[in-house]
Amino acid sequence: MGSRLKVQPISRVGLGPVVEMAEHIRAMLPGWEGTVPVDGQRNPSDLRLDLTHLAHNDADSFLIASHDSSVLGFIPAFVRSRQLVLTQPWVLPEAQEEGVAEVLFRRALAFGERSGTTDFVAHLLAGASDQAAAFRFGLRPRFPVYRLRLAAEPARRVGSELAKLLPGQELNPEELARRSGAADLERLDRLARSISRPMDHDYWLTSRQLRLAKVKEGQRLAAYAYGGAGQCGPVVGTTREAALAALGWALQFAGEGAGAVWVDVVVPAPFESAIEQLLDARATCQSAGLWMSRQPGATLERVIFASPCLP
């Protein structure tokens, strides 16, 4: 079917049905069964919010595959700091054997090459078939990415302890409104993850209305942390201790979010000390994704992802 597929950028007009498809596909993945959307639910899902953000800001690389006017799948991809970041290709179960994921990978990577990117990275949630498709195009497995879950009260408790490792503070509304220290956040992004993403910071602060804290080592900003209702992260630090302290703030923010019962934390495996702290707090591993890239790149050993779809 690959030669008969039509692949084109998404239009915001057609976003709704595409997001609904992704929500239902995600709920079929191992460890994601509890995310099945509920009719009439009060708040949009994290996946819906993230995909809407990407479709609005990165429409040219948010690619839809269709056949005879029927959408079979899509892949969100976006360029940040000369890297093409790919996330899970969402393909209907009945089209899994039709080569749809491979076609989407091929077209997304071609977009990245035309855009002058120097590396390609991907965070894949599903299993062997998507990983094999990425492998075919030169991406190599680097490390697992775990989604750990703990109850809100233990999250607040362990967060309070971790936050004491180094001096830090939450930014107040006035500081957030004038984007105080935005250049420092971009510096930390580049140092810890080789990527700068100002538009994503705007999204976390405005659309998601997350809280933001900064951690210092000496006189220098060493880490930042976002958190709030339905999201713990991103966290980025220049040292392990600073990243752990920032994780403490993120856990508290998420645990204090409106209606918080559980807190999910998306942790790259190289951040071993964070995983150990969370497991000691009785976190359980809900699912394991895979980080892949063409070049070895950043090890992400002091990073917590914002979400599976927007690492």
Residue 303 pLDDT more than 90? Answer: yes
Bridge pairing between strands 70-75 and 303-304: unpaired
For tokens 């999910």, what's the residue? 264
Predicted local confidence at residue 193, as pLDDT: 85
Burial category of 183 from C-beta neighbours within 10 Å (exposed 0-12, middle 13-18, buried 19 and up) = exposed
Residue 227 pLDDT more than 80? Answer: yes
Predicted local confidence at residue 41, as pLDDT: 61
Residue 39 pLDDT more than 70? Answer: no
Which pTM was predicted? 0.94
Coil, strand or helix: which one is 87?
coil
Q: Can you tell me the distance from the alpha carbon of 155 to that of 228, in angstroms, rounded to the nearest whole number?
A: 12
Predicted local confidence at residue 40, as pLDDT: 54
Residue 15 pLDDT more than 60? Answer: yes
**Residue 14 pLDDT grade (very low, low, confident, very high; cuts 50, 70, 90):** confident
Q: What is the pLDDT of residues 192-205, one digit of tens each?
A: 888 878 899 999 99
Q: Report the percentage of the chain scoring pLDDT > 90.
A: 75
For tokens 């508290």, what's the residue? 252
Q: Per-residue DSSP letters for 199-242?
A: HHHHHHHHTS--EEEEEEETTEEEEEEEEETTEEEEEEESSHHH
Predicted local confidence at residue 188, as pLDDT: 93
- Mean pLDDT for all residues in the chain: 92
CB atoms under 10 Å from CB of 251, counted, come to 33
- What's the mean pLDDT in 140-151? 97
Whether the link from the prior residue into 93 is cis, omega within 30° of 0, is no
247 half-sphere exposure, CB direction, 13 A CA radius: 31
Residue 35 has phi, psi (to 5 degrees) of -95, 5
- What's the mean pLDDT in 65-87? 92
Residue 3 pLDDT more than 80? Answer: no
What token pair was written down for 311? 């690492």
Predicted local confidence at residue 204, as pLDDT: 95
**Inter-helix orientation angle 15-26/46-57, to 10°:** 140
Task: Kindly list the distances between the CA atom of residue 59 and the CA atoms of 11, 17, 74, 110, 161, in Å, as whole numbers in the listed order.
Answer: 7, 16, 12, 15, 41
Q: Which domains does the chain have, with CATH numbers?
A: 2-138 (3.40.630.30), 146-304 (3.40.630.90)
Q: What is the pLDDT of residues 158-183, one digit of tens each?
A: 999 999 999 999 999 888 878 777 88
